[in-house]
Amino acid sequence: MTRFGTWIALLGLLVACQNETHPVFTPVPSPSSHLSTTDAILQPAETPSDLSVCPGSGPIDVYISVLATRDMTVANRVSDQWAALVAGGATSGAMVVYTANTSACAAELGATSGVKAITSFVARFPDESQADRAWNAGVFGFAPPPPGQLTPGLTLGTSTGLGASSFTYDRPSVRLACWRHGFYVAMIVASNLDLNTFRSATAAVDARLN
């Protein structure tokens, strides 16, 4: 399997949280330069009006623990990927999933068909060097492609509009952006959403990172 094929297969790691008893996170925007990751991820007002947040979204540890109540195998894989980021210096992380149908909260994003959904992940590092090394090593299995190994729909670097340390993958059913900005590494995956919505979401998150 090619490295890019591995990225697409690993879309299954990005699953929505399903525990309906867990309270929905309600982050309060912070003006501090040390923005929390829960404040940095995509906010409800920045998503289409027909999407709702999946319960359990918020701090990554909560995300994983809620996921474990429904699918321990997937939760363990996500936990391992998060542990790799922590080993690379990540001090905090947050994940949020918005969807037009609650059934998608229990589905792997890469496997959903015809359901609108968008996931936002942000991790914070102590300094830019650690953040950049983590981004290059891969975020939840998604690593930047080597030069010369680009695939149709894949854009690397400043052409993405998200800085030199970034790449995007654009297909009508699945769109992905992964980038490093300042002390943060961010990722957004959109399913069955138009390009303008995807670009607006990445711009909204990127504007908060420094």
Of the two residues 149 and 52, the one the predictor is more confident about is 52
Predicted pLDDT of residue 107? 59
pLDDT, position 17? 36
Average of pLDDT values for 106-112? 57
Q: Give the model's pLDDT for residue 112.
A: 61
Is 125 or 56 the better-scoring residue by pLDDT? 125
Average pLDDT over residues 86-104: 91
Of these ranges, 24-33, 61-70, 85-94, the one predicted with the greatest mean pLDDT is: 85-94
- Confidence at residue 72, expressed as pLDDT on a 0 to 100 scale: 81
Looking at per-residue pLDDT, the higher value among 80 and 68 belongs to 80
Is the pTM higher than 0.95? The answer reads no
**Confidence category of residue 69, pLDDT binned at 50, 70, 90:** confident
Q: Where are the alpha helices (DSSP H) in the chain?
A: 3-9, 37-40, 60-68, 72-87, 128-137, 195-208
Choose from 30-34, 108-112, 196-200 the range with maximum mean pLDDT: 196-200
As a whole number, mean pLDDT of residues 74-83 equals: 88
Q: How far apart are CA 125 and CA 114, in angstroms?
A: 36
| pLDDT score for 100 | 92
**Residue in 159, 134, 116, 125 with CA at minimum distance from that of residue 34:** 125
Q: Residue for token digits 């650690």?
A: 130
Residue 20 region by backbone torsions, left for phi larger than 0, else alpha for psi between -120 and 50, else beta:
alpha
153-174, pLDDT tens digit by residue?
899 999 999 999 999 999 878 9
Q: How far apart are CA 128 and CA 160, in angstroms?
A: 19
The phi and psi torsions of 117 (rounded to 5 degrees) equal: -160, 150
Distance in angstroms (rounded) separating the CA atoms of residues 118 and 3? 23
